[in-house]
Amino acid sequence: MKTFYTAGHTAHVPQEEFEAGRMTPAVEVPARVETVRRRIAERKLGPIVEPTDYGLAPALRVHNSEFVAFLQTAHARWAQDHPGVDAIPSVFAPQITGQRRREVMARDSTSARLGQYCFDTGTPITQGSWSAAAAAVNIALSAAQAVRLGDAAAFALARPPGHHASTTQFGGYCYLNNIAIAAQFLTDTGARCAIIDVDYHHGNGTQEIFYARDDVLFVSLHADPAFAYPVYWGFADEIGRARGEGFNLNLPLPIATNWQGYREALAAASARIRSFSPDILLVSLGLDTFALDPICRFQLQSEDYLRLGATLAELRKPTVFVFEGGYNLEHLAENTVNVLEGFAAA
């Protein structure tokens, strides 16, 4: 299995995030990817390949152009008045429309646009955020292209993650939605795509992007938003809208879910994917479902990730894995490679 990776992600180095009323050390750090890359090489999983540069066009098939332009220039603008400080919103855009909204946005204020385009206080824009986010998109697209051209599977070791980023907003450590951009790229070539998100947190951005569409299926297993981020999205009654009704399946799970409970939800997810009959499966591969993850509350063990990989392989579809969350640096590499090896061995 090819792994697509670039060292460009190391340009994005958040120092702190604002969480629960205080600044805390960032957990979405370069070491997450580097420890996985080393383990892939040690286990000889397959070649580690530099991605191709696809430019901005694929991202603009998914994201609003003004939003993308903001991400490109936000830190440079912010640094003019806040040198040495990451950009974090201090106020969020109220639900105003019409002339007042036009007046506010006409000021071209970075603070105002941060509050418009970001939905949390835990996703700082650093000097290297844009270049890293653009590189992550190229990684996901390169993995998607490899599978489109005949590889049985490919792994996009991409950072920053992407599944919380929506058409017009970033948050949840995500700036551009890597897996949604890859799915749209494949759809544009005529492939029928299904996305399964196994991250602890609901992929609200991916859901929003495809919510009114019937050509891409989105299925997510995640912690119930009644107690977990992203709080406002991920409930079971969110089934899609208009043409997309019935093409969005959320499977929220309780605190302390272990493999037995997770396996049952995974079986339901697999059944829906089979009925959709995709040409290509894309996996938002979050490993924060691990029992020792510092910010999450499930109980999966390292050996369970072998089972997860094997279960995904049973769908018998060309598969693109895209790296998302997972914050226990001691076990993250083992758990990630276990999924990929479980898949390959099935």
d(C-alpha 71, C-alpha 17), whole Å: 18
Q: Contact at 8 Å (CB) between 300 and 307?
A: no
Whether the per-residue pLDDT at 44 is higher than 90: the answer is yes
- Looking at the structure, do residues 111 and 237 belong to the same domain, yes or no? no
List 164, 202, 222, 331, catalytic entry: 164
Q: Kindly state whether residues 57 and 87 are assigned to the same domain.
A: no
Model confidence at 103: pLDDT above 80: no
DSSP for residue 199: S
Peptide bond into 160 cis (omega under 30): yes
Residues 192 and 302 occupy one common structural domain: yes
Mean pLDDT of 47-53: 98
The rounded radius of gyration (Å) of the Cα atoms in the chain is 19
If asked whether residues 205 and 265 sit together in one domain, one would say yes
Is 34 in the same domain as 130? Answer: yes
Give the residue from 117, 141, 158 where a domain finishes.
117
Q: Do 87 and 199 sit in the same domain of this protein? A: no
What six digits make up the tokens of 73?
A: 């220039």
Q: How far apart are CA 16 and CA 22, in angstroms?
A: 10
Q: What angle do CA 151, 198, 280 make, to 5 degrees?
A: 30
Query: pTM of whole model > 0.85?
Result: yes
Domain holding 221, by residue range, is 2-63+126-345
Task: Provide the β-strand partners of residue 16.
Answer: 25
- Report angle CA 130, 136, 138 to the nearest 5 degrees: 105
Q: At what angle do helices 259-276 and 302-313 cross, to 10 degrees?
A: 20
Mean pLDDT over all residues of the chain? 95
> Is residue 211 domain-shared with residue 109, that is, in the same domain?
no
CATH number for 245: 3.40.800.20
Question: Each residue of 294-313: pLDDT tens digit?
Answer: 999 999 999 999 999 999 99
Q: Phi/psi at 109 (nearest 5 deg)?
A: -85, 125
Residue 254 sits in the same domain as residue 325: yes
Active site residue 201: no
61-94: per-residue pLDDT in tens? 999 999 999 999 999 999 998 999 899 998 887 7
Residue 108: its pLDDT value, please? 63
Number of domains in the chain: 2
Contact predicate 22/13, CB 8 Å:
no
Q: In what order do the strands lie in the sheet with 319-323?
A: 48-49, 2-4, 153-156, 319-323, 280-285, 193-197, 216-223, 248-253
Clarify whether residues 185 and 111 are in a common domain: no
Minimum mean pLDDT among 114-123, 182-191, 228-237, 253-262: which range? 114-123
Name residue, tokens 């996985």: 36
Same domain, 14 and 138: yes
Please report which confidence band the pLDDT of residue 100 belongs to, taking 50, 70 and 90 as the band edges: low
**pLDDT band for position 110 (cuts 50, 70, 90):** confident
Contact (Cβ atoms closer than 8 angstroms) between residue 32 and residue 332: yes
